[in-house]
Amino acid sequence: MANVLYLTHRMPFPPDKGDKITTFNFLRHLATKHRVFLGAFVDSEADWAQADELKAYCAETKLIRIAPLRQRAWSATAFLHGASISEVYHRDAGLQAWVDDVVPRHGIRTGLAYCSAMAPYLAGPKFAPMRRVTHYADVDSEKWKTYAATKRPPMSWVYGREARTLLDLERRMSAQYDITSFVSDADAALYRQLAPESAAQVRVIPNGVDTDYFSPDLPFDSPFAAGSQAVVFTGAMDYWPNADAVVWFANEVFGRIRQQRPEAEFWIVGSKPGAGVTKLESIAGVHVTGRVPDVRPYLAHAGAVVAPLRVARGTQNKVLEAYAMARAVVMTSAAANGLLPADFIAGSTHDEPPAMAAAVVQALAQPPGFDAARQYVMTQYSWRNAFGLLDEALQTVPMEST
């Protein structure tokens, strides 16, 4: 058993969105073998209310309540210092003081930082004796570069600057950390090109899916009206790529589906939808649920699942969860980019509205129960495989003191 310091940019509980699913499963795994010291930011009062449940997995926690509006204002100082906005947003003297204290106090020799903004907390020569690993959902700097290409000035300039400064941060942190890991081969290969000096330290630790939890064999009541054919999208709706995806699909694709399948309905399932998403309900057949207690009933009774992301990096948990529920997924090439190849993925990947609409119509015509998709997840995306690679990256050592 070792003492492990674990730093996350968002409290890893409850596991109700992509990054929190990964960070929580890492935490739960590490807690079975080690004493985990967790430092994390909390940006939701609903999450804060569940902090005690999270603490059961940890030897000690340092949770920092963060006010998004205040932090965004503070992040503007990044322009004065040549730093990335993401780094400044997550810079906190209290968390740094806790890290500086807890590492020597407990003889911690292993550290895991989730995302580049958390890596600076373990930077510098005093932490050099530690085994340090950073894990990324994707190449974050490249995502901002993509954002810049989709926006007009002045936001395109802001996003372009963020891409440059964040890549600089990523490279500086990789030079100090022992391992920099990504969830997909595609992102790992891209980062080796962007940071060739650290290519030898780059690894892949894929996402996983709890296939007992996401199982088509579990009984769920249908949330849909009898006779309807539900086309479902799941995801946090305060995340711009998700909001962009459903707006594009509702306006450019869904009408083509309704022409052939008048009973089709588009269900947008996810928390915190903004005005641009909620107004989509003015389109016949479109439903916006907001936060739901469980996405599984929506997946279990979906006629088809869609992932029409036009901006995406890494591996999409929403796709893997639908596959685990034995559902067909029609997606864009951006959403499919981080997935390991399979014949049925290539056949259901389309970027043009007519082709995507035709693929959804075809999926709606098929009987439920896409067993090949579930088998794909069980063999390629088991948490057991991910945990083995995480352990290998951390190379944890016996704790020296308590």
The pLDDT tens digits for 97-138 are 999 999 999 999 999 999 999 999 999 999 999 999 999 989
Q: Report the pLDDT value the prediction gives residue 339, as an integer from 0 to 100.
A: 93
Q: Report the pLDDT value the prediction gives residue 396, as an integer from 0 to 100.
A: 60
Residues 31 and 169 in one domain: yes
Residues 203 and 350 in one domain: no
Residues 41 and 183 in one domain: yes
181-226 confidence digits (pLDDT tens): 999 999 999 999 999 999 999 999 999 999 999 999 999 999 999 9
Q: What's the first-to-final CA gap in the chain, in angstroms?
A: 11
Residues 268 and 198 in one domain: no
Interval 47-60 mean pLDDT:
94
221: in domain: no
Per the CB < 8 A criterion, the answer to whether 5 and 95 are in contact is no
Residues 245 and 171 in one domain: no
Residues 325 and 388 in one domain: no
Q: Report the pLDDT value the prediction gives residue 81, as an integer from 0 to 100.
A: 82
Please enumerate, as own/partner, the contacts of 348-352 that have beta carbons within 8 Å and a separation of 24 or more: none
Residues 133 and 246 in one domain: no
Q: What's the mean per-residue pLDDT of the chain?
A: 93
Residues 172 and 120 in one domain: yes
57-101 confidence digits (pLDDT tens): 999 999 999 877 777 777 888 888 889 999 999 999 999 999 999
- How would residue 168 be classed by pLDDT, with cut points 50, 70 and 90? very high
Which conformational region is residue 37 in: left (phi greater than 0), alpha (psi within -120 to 50 degrees), or beta?
beta
DSSP-assigned beta bridge partners for residue 111:
5, 132
Residues 203 and 243 in one domain: no
Residues 149 and 261 in one domain: no
Q: How many domains does the chain have?
A: 2
357-366 confidence digits (pLDDT tens): 999 999 999 8
123: in domain: yes
241-259 confidence digits (pLDDT tens): 999 999 999 999 999 999 9
**Boundaries of domain holding 198:** 3-208+382-394
Q: What is the CATH number of the domain that holds 200?
A: 3.40.50.2000
Task: Give the C-alpha separation, 79 to 91, whole Å.
Answer: 15
Task: Give the C-alpha separation, 322 to 235, whole Å.
Answer: 12
Residues 246 and 127 in one domain: no
- How would residue 399 be classed by pLDDT, with cut points 50, 70 and 90? very low
- How would residue 5 be classed by pLDDT, with cut points 50, 70 and 90? very high
Q: Report the pLDDT value the prediction gives residue 400, as an integer from 0 to 100.
A: 40
For residue 176, give both structure tokens: 């100090």
Q: Report the pLDDT value the prediction gives residue 106, as an integer from 0 to 100.
A: 97
More confident residue, 173 or 70: 173
Residues 199 and 102 in one domain: yes
Task: Give the C-alpha separation, 311 to 245, whole Å.
Answer: 8
Could you tell me how many helices (H) and strands (E) the chain has, helices first? 20, 12
401: in domain: no
Q: Which range (134-143, 155-164, 361-370, 389-398) has the least confidence?
A: 389-398
DSSP 127: G
